[in-house]
Structure 1
Amino acid sequence: MEKRFAIGMDIGGSHITAAIIDLNDMKVVEGSVSKVSFDSNLPVKVVMDFWENAIRSLCEKTQVEKLSGIAMAIPGPFDYGNGTCWIKDQNKYDNFYGLNIKDLLRERFDFNQDFPIVFENDAISFGKGEVYKNTENLSKKVMAITLGTGLGSCFIENGKIVNSGEKVPRSGEIWDHPYQNGIAEDSISLRGLLSNYHDLSDIQLNKGIELYHLANDGDEKAIKSFNKFGEDLAEVVIPWLKSFNADMLVIGGKLANAGDLFLNVFREKAKNAGIEIELVISSDNETAALLGVATLLYEVNVQ
């Protein structure tokens, strides 16, 4: 069987992570992962220069001459079927609003109209990647969430995304569900965590790492901020774990790295609610997203 390779890209507001994906074995090619930091609010041409350079460098580095497609994990709002970006007022990709990413890529490369360029929500990509990493997970009902500047979520059963029906929220997304005086993402995100500390201390921190160090150094208000974050997470997530009858909860995103400061609270809340579940903290969020979004190309090729 001819080897098939694709490029997987995880598109963030301040960086992209890219790698070559072996579509035959559904593995990230060893040594191919690269990360480039930049300001996504730069002019479109400048941002596309970063993307183009990342793609060309990967192909040169790994000596892949023929690609079977490009798969991009990207946050919403986004038209994933057509490739049009609708991100607005989120301090990222402001200049891409209304632009078709497929067209932008085809302007840079000699891709014909049939060359596969596919897109998926970053949280869904992460969840699918975590499931595909271990074949034992393919038979499980999995809820995956990403904790960072926003709150991402997806629900997976037998390796397939579930985004409709009574057992999951609309489109599988929990970020915009009403919670307290706003929506879930107001509390379960970096801004929510920092807001907790501001409410307790009247000090406005700008970076989560600052709060993390304060908590590890024994700052009582910082510790309480993380505890409150764990409580809010439990209040929002536990009802959906019950509804979906999930076997596993996978947590990723940058804030998952601080899980030792809030997950004990979450576990206690889950236990009190009668929830017994396998809790997995992702050790490689970005690689999982790359593998997850590449499953779109794998599924196309095996049909």
Structure 2
Amino acid sequence: MIPVLEIGGTHVTAALVDLPGRRVVHRTRSPLDPHGGAGDILGGVRRCAAGLPAPPGARWGVAVPGPFDYAKGVALFAGVGKFEALYGVDVRAALLGGLWQRPGDVVFLNDAHAFLAGEWTGGAAHGHRRAVGITLGTGVGSAFLADGLIREDGSGVPPGGRMDLTEVGGRPLEDTVSRRAILVRYGDPAADVRDIADRARAGEQRARRVLADALTALGAALGPRLAAFGATVLVVGGSMARSWDLVFPALRGGLASGGWVPDDGEPGDVVPDDVDRGDGSQRTDTPASPPGTTTGPRRVPAGTARHTRAVRPAGSAEDAALIGAARAAATA
């Protein structure tokens, strides 16, 4: 079993991963205050990890958002609205000396890279030679993968593989697609993105327009890059992706306008268990409806020829990131 940590914008998860079985077999999860002091943040990570029955001397994998010096394990958070108290802190040394299990080593990787590596290992990107992953939440995370390896340059790949560094209409992408951008455009300080999604499903045109404009713009920015990269699948994770009934139609339209026209689905495609169907419930074993309806992508019968361009929601972005972190620890 490989011990791993996944540090998000507001939480930390510690887990043991059975990599050959592609399973998360033990998990603890705790909140983190992204605006807290360095001691508070690192203390929260240590307390969460303390509940993990990991053997001393094990190599840990840690998925963490950027900016971060992953080779050295040093935090570089600045101007991103989270974890800024950690700027310049040697997180690797803090974990090597602060975890009671006393790791033998700690390997860091970008959380979006971990997510896509996990999806490629045994999730929605499995079987695809070229895949792209996007996480939608407080910001936009991205990863480009070819033949099992993360690519940070090459045809279609933005600098460092970071879509958040690209621009839409002369402004950073996250000024259009992010929790912050959507809330600013919607203009109701009492609403969160989930509230806006609920109002969109209820028929409120302003809510529908705000979400559709943001996701269409994301698709239009991604489309040319996916085409140039030769991607055959785009996997979408993050908190916003759980509203797949709203995300998929707008994103698909933007991708098509950007020159990467998705097929209708993949053999056996279904809406994952943690994705909203649009009626307040979660998916059961019933087949999902065709794209363009309010319930997301359809199930394509097994045995159908494999499509060449698929857009898939992640089954569990957290599980994928944990498995990807375990993969990085195992191959370091």
User: What TM-score does the superposition give when structure 1 sets the normalisation length?
Assistant: 0.87
2:200 alignment partner, one of 191, 194, 215? 215
Alignment-derived partner of residue 45 in structure 2: 51
Shift of 1:49: 2.3
Q: Kindly tell me: are residues 269 and 94 of structure 1, through their superposed partners in 2, closer, same or farther at Cα, counting changes over 3 Å?
A: closer
Alignment-derived partner of residue 267 in structure 1: 252
Distance 2:148 2:11 in 1: 28
Q: Kindly tell me: are residues 281 and 115 of structure 1, through their superposed partners in 2, closer, same or farther at Cα, counting changes over 3 Å?
A: same
Distance 1:182 1:271 in 2: 22
Distance 2:6 2:260 in 1: 36
Q: Is the 8 A contact 1:139 1:159 kept in 2?
A: no
Shift of 1:136: 7.5
Provide, for residues 80-117 of structure 1, a one-character-per-residue CA deviation record: whole Å limited to 9, x for no partner: 000000102333212111000111112314677x9220
Shift of 1:176: 1.4
Shift of 1:248: 0.3
Asked if 1:86 corresponds to 2:76, the answer is yes
Q: Kindly tell me: are residues 195 and 43 of structure 1, through their superposed partners in 2, closer, same or farther at Cα, counting changes over 3 Å?
A: closer
How many pairs are equivalent?
A: 285
Q: Look up the SS of the partner of 1:168 in the other structure.
A: coil
Q: Kindly tell me: are residues 29 and 178 of structure 1, through their superposed partners in 2, closer, same or farther at Cα, counting changes over 3 Å?
A: closer
Alignment-derived partner of residue 6 in structure 2: 10
Shift of 1:135: 9.8
Alignment-derived partner of residue 118 in structure 1: 107
2:316 alignment partner, one of 272, 275, 284? 284
Pairs within 5 Å for 1:39-78: 39-59=33-53, 64-66=54-56, 68-78=58-68
Distance 1:210 1:154 in 2: 28
Q: Higher mean Cα deviation, 144-153 or 259-268?
A: 259-268
Pairs within 5 Å for 1:1-303: 5-23=1-19, 25=20, 27-30=22-25, 32-59=26-53, 64-66=54-56, 68-109=58-99, 115-134=104-123, 137-198=126-187, 203-271=188-256, 273=259, 275-276=261-262, 277-300=309-332
Q: Look up the SS of the partner of 1:266 in the other structure.
A: helix
Q: Look up the SS of the partner of 2:142 in the other structure.
A: strand
Shift of 1:75: 0.9
Read off the aligned partner of 1:28 and give its amino acid letter.
Answer: R
Read off the aligned partner of 1:188 and give its amino acid letter.
Answer: V
Q: Look up the SS of the partner of 1:175 in the other structure.
A: helix
Q: Look up the SS of the partner of 2:9 in the other structure.
A: coil
Q: Kindly tell me: are residues 249 and 29 of structure 1, through their superposed partners in 2, closer, same or farther at Cα, counting changes over 3 Å?
A: closer
Which runs of 5 or more structure 2 residues have no equivalent in the other structure?
263-308
Shift of 1:67: 5.1
Q: Is the 8 A contact 1:19 1:34 kept in 2?
A: yes
Q: Is the 8 A contact 2:4 2:62 kept in 1?
A: yes
Distance 1:134 1:181 in 2: 35
Distance 2:217 2:256 in 1: 15
Provide, for residues 100-159 of structure 1, a one-character-per-residue CA deviation record: whole Å limited to 9, x for no partner: 0111112314677x9220111111111111111149825421011111111111111111
Q: Look up the SS of the partner of 1:33 in the other structure.
A: strand
Read off the aligned partner of 2:227 and give its amino acid letter.
Answer: K
Shift of 1:246: 0.6
Q: Kindly tell me: are residues 269 and 56 of structure 1, through their superposed partners in 2, closer, same or farther at Cα, counting changes over 3 Å?
A: closer
Which runs of 5 or more structure 1 residues have no equivalent in the other structure?
none
Provide, for residues 46-74 of structure 1, a one-character-per-residue CA deviation record: whole Å limited to 9, x for no partner: 22222222212111xxxx43452111111
RMSD (Å) for aligned C-alpha atoms: 2.1
Q: Is the 8 A contact 1:205 1:211 kept in 2?
A: no
Read off the aligned partner of 2:325 and give its amino acid letter.
Answer: V
Q: Look up the SS of the partner of 1:119 in the other structure.
A: strand
User: What TM-score does the superposition give when structure 2 sets the normalisation length?
Assistant: 0.80
Q: Is the 8 A contact 2:216 2:252 kept in 1?
A: no
